[in-house]
A and B are shown apart, each in its own frame.
Chain A
Amino acid sequence: MTIYGNIALLAPIFWPIIGAFIAFLIGKKSKNARDYFVKFVAVSTFGIMFALVFGATTGEGAPYFMISGFMGDRIHFRLDGLRAVYGLIASFMWMMTTLVSREYFAEYRNRNRYYLFSLLTLGGTMGVFFSADLFTTFVFFELMSIASYVMVIHDEKPATLDAARTYMAVAVIGGLALLFGILIVNSTLGTTEIAAIFPAMQAYDGSMGILYLAGVFMLVGFGGKAGMYPLHIWLPNAHPVAPAPASALLSGVLTKTGVFGLIIVSLLLFNSDTGWGFLMLNIGIIGMITGAMLALFSTDLKRTLAYSSVSQIGFIILGLGMANILVAFRDAYYHSLAIHGTMLHMVNHSLIKLLLFMAAGVVYLNVHHLDLNKIRGFGRGKPIFTIVFLMGALAIIGMPLWSGYISKTLLHDTLVYYIMYGDFEGRMAVLRYFQILEGVFTITGGLTTAYMTKLFICICVEKNQFDQAKMDGKNKKYMGKLTAGVLIVCAALLPILGLNPDWFMIPIASFGHDFMMLAYYPYALNFWAWMPISGVLASFAIGAILYIFVVRMILTRKDEEGRSIYVNLWPSWLDIEHRIYRPLLKTVLPAIGGFFAKVATSIVPVITGAIHKGLVGFRGFWHKKTSDRPERSFLQTIGLSGQRGEFVRIIFGSLLYALLIVFIGFTVVQLLILFG
């Protein structure tokens, strides 16, 4: 085995993996010591990561690590730009969720198992973000997928087992689709090295069809993990049932590994392919609006947040699609809008969902429910919780001065500038299409505002219709100091990042330039101009209307005793998981495949059965004629009877059959040669 490059790069990947097993062994002896050790691993991983990133950027060139003679020579890591940012975010989020885990899991069983697989997932996730070769990406992607399954299934309730089944199905099917895509890229471009994909595409002159096939397979694999519509089905299943720290990680980090892959496919493989851009654009916009609508209808806190994730991932995918389109537009003058918007929306979504899911965890820990009607009024009289939740809500709806505003504005501007400066001479349909897209973008913003308002008002403003005293009874003792501290830090990040984009957000975005193939970087966008602010205000207005006329008037009703309760009116026939995917995978495809298998496997038994019957019948016919003779077979005459005789009969019989068949075949071939 030969090693090239900086071996320190292995630390953030393999330290959690090794630590996972150490923690497991410690946990067999002492649960307390295990809890401290797990925290130590999570914090130290973040520390290592921090040191690596800020130590590395000062040196020249990005640190890389390669090892030959290990898993087929393709383990290759790199720590640059986007990888560094996401390595940092992932380890940060793991640290935060691990810090609150002790309190959250206090009453759970099988905690040793949870921590083992949580840390394994961390190692896998870091491996994906560090990977510089698609083979490496795949290896760690699978480790992450399988290990996180155990995090999802943790409480083993029936709904959980069901959700975990969906999660595993998406993980396995997505993983294999991804593998197939990578294999095709490997055989057509001759490389899986991520940095070599773009140059190889420039030099490629073969058919694009096979590469689109690869692209679609990788889209399924990465998109499934990212929560891309319509492969998002695991999110609304897994998020509500998984423990809150796990939900935060699933939504905040694991989906981003999928996005990381989508960046490779979209921006490296199909860098300036407008057709691919339109595909991504459509997927993104459908995901945005559908996710947001489902979130508005949902009456379960974590399910709402999960659908919100589907919607936000839609924004990110829209950004990727626009990046494909803008790179070939006006000398890529507006390319950086899409690149920065995509990158920052990833970062924002991670941080916001971390906060909101941890807040949901606090709710669950106290009320043991996530149904909006049961947790209503929980936030009353709990100022820290209320403020923390408000920060997350304001950030996600894109309130100016909060971080979400910046990324949403950038993404929105990609559409605005394309419409404004595009040449639509004779292509009015395209113009209309983009105008509709822009409209949908604004409406989705309105939906986001509406569902976050619904959540906030329900949890922190309204009184519980059943038992508000129980909710108030928890005041001042609903969370520990550590949890409160973690929540406050995470909440404070959002307005700090959003305060002035030039301080943090734009510098963070510029980390992604190289990896995301930024073509041109000229602009200095004024975020505080009337135009971007007016876009947000339009969204807020739509949101207010939706909240008043849809949420208050349609999605709530009075029950028999006059209490107003939230109802989910989303029609059940629109459930693509239970209407399409499950029947297809569990019934239709196995039935078709099984039918073929049954037919094919019964060919030989039927033939041999027929031969056997024929021979037996023939023998019966023979014996009838000579029935006066005592029955004595040839084998019996030579002294072989019973089982031994059977044995010999089988052997010689089989050999003779074979000889017969070969002889017939031989003759046929000879005849074919003679006459053919």
Chain B
Amino acid sequence: MNILLVLPILLPILAGAILPKLKGVNLKTFVTAVMAINTALVVLIVSLGDISIRLLSITPQLSLFLQVDNLSRFFILLAAGLWLLVTFYTFGYIKADDRQAGFYRYYLLSYGVIIGATLSGNLVTLYLFYEFMTLFTYPLVTYNGDKAAIKAGNKVLVYSFFGAGLTLAAMFFAARFGMTFDFVAGGTLDMAAVAGSESLALFLFFVAFIGFGVKAYIFPLFDWVPSAYPEVPSPAAALFSGVVSKVAILAILRLTLYVFGADFIMGTWVQNVLLVLTITTVFLGSMSAFREKLFKRRLAYSSVSQLSYIMFGIVLLSPVALLGSMLHVVAHGVIKVVLFLAAGAMIQQTGKTMVDDFKGAGKSMPITLWCFTLGSIALIGIPPTLGFLSKWYLAVGGLATTAPALGMLGAGMLLISALLTGGYLIPIFAGAFFPGYKFDYTKLVKNEPKKFITIPLIILAALALLFGIFPGILMNFIDSISAMLF
């Protein structure tokens, strides 16, 4: 029974591997079939209960270990759900030429390893999938094939592997504390083994955190984000921001709360430094987005700041803040996918790339712009959307922390950032819907993208709203996770 855990990882990887070799099979049908079967598999293993399987065990510290717990369920559902919806969008977006097979191949491969990362039962397994995620997403980044895209892809590689290297080295040194790296709620750090060298262990935690943080855009290692995103095809950009960065968040959660443990980090310099770093990132991301004029890059900067909301909540190490963080994982996952998909559709339909280019777009492509507007409102954090609830709990957590000055600064920064978010998103949709009284309604042509593109948009935008109004199911689920941790 437990062997089932391997299936949703292997299926997309195998399918991706054989995909370019297939002759006479409709690519879209094939990908749809794989995604459908895999979604069913994911739902199946999520409902099976807490099962685990140790595939390969070289030493007690070095083993391939898959398991399902509530945190995995949370992230696997998010990842699989978003990936599935974006698949349909991709069908409407990627041009049907002979290069598309390459895109779908790596699309499926990345999907497989991300599922693997969410199911990982120890840090080594997670690290392994994490590295493969970087490798398999590289062709998606460079899909445009021009020089700029390859340069961007290389930059992503440099930063990602640098970050992964930090984590790897930290794990390497931490192994001497006799850690198993298996994920156990509350941490597995052996206090007796650490005794005497706590500051060393803290340093290693810090390094590993920053290492994973690179893919969650932590300051000062987010310089690759603004370079990479404008080159990435929109569905891939949406998934990078919505899912890939969330795998980094998962890794950070596992590292912080399941390996080192909240008690060990609470009140130390590492907590303070990380709080400062995340608060700084929140500001820098929003400020840069506010000043950026290139549409996709603005959204990329926006992700930089939003991801740090989540990390801020994690580093606060309290149940309320974690609730805010996890809600924001869903909120940002859903919303940023909406925004990138809508932006992609707007860019593709009009051929324009700057934020000021979409005057009157609300009249010619109302569905896309309505979804974009809803997503923007949710991202700013205006009720009754999920973005508001998550920020509420993050701020409540910030104000209730044991580090009052930093907590208050953080809560205040969330609001300043929300203000900036309003500043960089509102003009886009306001201009699109209110083009001015001289707007020529006679020349108006309907320019709405295909159904493949609009339907995923509508579903996701509706989710951002519905989860905000009925968050009970999410909140109960998160409470069941944090009940084990604190």
**A residues at B contact (CB < 8 Å):** 1, 69-72, 109, 135, 138-139, 142-143, 146, 153, 155-158, 160-161, 164, 168, 172-173, 175-177, 179-180, 183-184, 186-187, 590, 593-594, 596-597, 600-601, 603-605, 643, 646-647, 650-651, 653-659, 661-663, 665-666, 669-670, 672-673
Contacts and interface: CB of A to CB of B under 8 A. Distances in A.
A71 B220 contact: no
B275 to A, nearest CB: 16
B472 A604 contact: no
A673 B200 contact: yes
Contacts of A604: 220-221, 223
Nearest to B163: A658
Interface residues of B, number: 69
Nearest to A141: B383
Given A183-B395, A183-B396, A604-B220, A593 B169 contact: no
Interface in B40-89: none
Contacts of A596: 283-284, 287
Interface in B142-167: 150, 154, 157-166
Main secondary structure of the interface of B (DSSP, over half): helix
Nearest to A74: B392
A669 B395 CA distance: 34
B430 interface: yes
Given A72-B389, A654-B159, 13 more contacts: A69-B470, A71-B383, A72-B392, A156-B434, A180-B415, A183-B399, A590-B287, A596-B284, A597-B283, A600-B280, A601-B222, A659-B165, A670-B200
Contact of A666 (B173, B219, B280, B436): B173
A600 B284 contact: yes
Interface string B397-421: 0011000000000011001001100
A168 B433 CA distance: 15
A658 B471 contact: no
B415 A71 contact: no
A113 to B, nearest CB: 8
A160 B436 CA distance: 9
A601 B436 contact: no
7 contacts: A109-B441, A156-B435, A164-B434, A176-B419, A604-B221, A655-B165, A666-B204
A597 B157 contact: no
Contacts of A135: 392
Nearest to B401: A187
B266 interface: no
Contacts of A168: 422, 426, 430
Contacts of A658: 161-166, 168-169, 211
What are the nearest 8 A-B pairs in CB distance?
Answer: A658-B165, A654-B161, A662-B169, A187-B399, A69-B472, A655-B165, A597-B287, A139-B383
Nearest to B363: A110
B291 interface: yes
A172 B163 contact: no
Contacts of A69: 470, 472
B290 interface: yes
Contacts of A597: 283-284, 287-288, 291
B436 A669 contact: no
A69 B223 CA distance: 41
B292 to A, nearest CB: 10
A176 B419 CA distance: 7
Contacts of B434: 153, 156, 161, 164
B369 to A, nearest CB: 13
Nearest to A183: B395
Nearest to B201: A669
A146 to B, nearest CB: 6
B468 interface: yes
Contacts of B161: 650-651, 654-655, 658
A647 B157 contact: yes
A146 B291 contact: no
A143 to B, nearest CB: 7
Nearest to A168: B426
Interface string B213-230: 000000111110000000
A209 to B, nearest CB: 12
A603 B219 CA distance: 10
Contacts of B220: 600-601, 603-604
